[in-house]
Amino acid sequence: MKQLHGLENLAQSLRKPINASQLAQALLDDLRQCECVIYGCIDDNPLIELARLQLLPDTLNYEMFDQRIDLNVAGTILRDDCVPLTYRLSGQQFAISGRCSMIARVCGVDLYLHSSYTGVVGDLARQRFSLAVPALAKRINAF
């Protein structure tokens, strides 16, 4: 269920064919103010905000050898009245969304929440993301 959003917009701002270093720089610029929101669900409302995690600025990094972007986000858990089910990591144009879980080895989950996500209101939660740049470049070049 993991979905990528905004690749078309990024593709329009870059000249094709897009190589990994061009895309990495565009993504680094786009993700400088990113945040990750963790959502739960109660009844008919599937977008109950449980936590809003902000980018830890010193963690946004492009690893040239592995051609991946790594970043960490952190923030306070806001609610505990439902379990985390979905997430959305959003930059200015680019975003990733999908299913998440606090429990390891749950089928159909795109993101296992870090052990710091305790589900207790007020606790600090952290999450790490890694983006494979060549795979994203391949998708963009297919447009």
Give the end-to-end CA distance of the chain in Å, rounded to a whole number.
21
Question: Which pLDDT score is estimated for 124?
Answer: 97
Domain residue spans in the chain?
3-141
Question: Which pLDDT score is estimated for 142?
Answer: 79
Question: Which pLDDT score is estimated for 16?
Answer: 75
How far apart (Å, rounded) are the C-alpha atoms in residues 7 and 100? 22
Whether residue 143 is predicted with pLDDT greater than 80 in this model: the reply is no
pLDDT (mean) for 119-132: 97
Contact 129, 35 (CB under 8 A): no
pLDDT (mean) for 21-46: 94
Quote the pTM value: 0.92
Q: Tens digits of per-residue pLDDT, 60-96?
A: 999 999 999 999 999 999 999 999 999 999 999 999 9
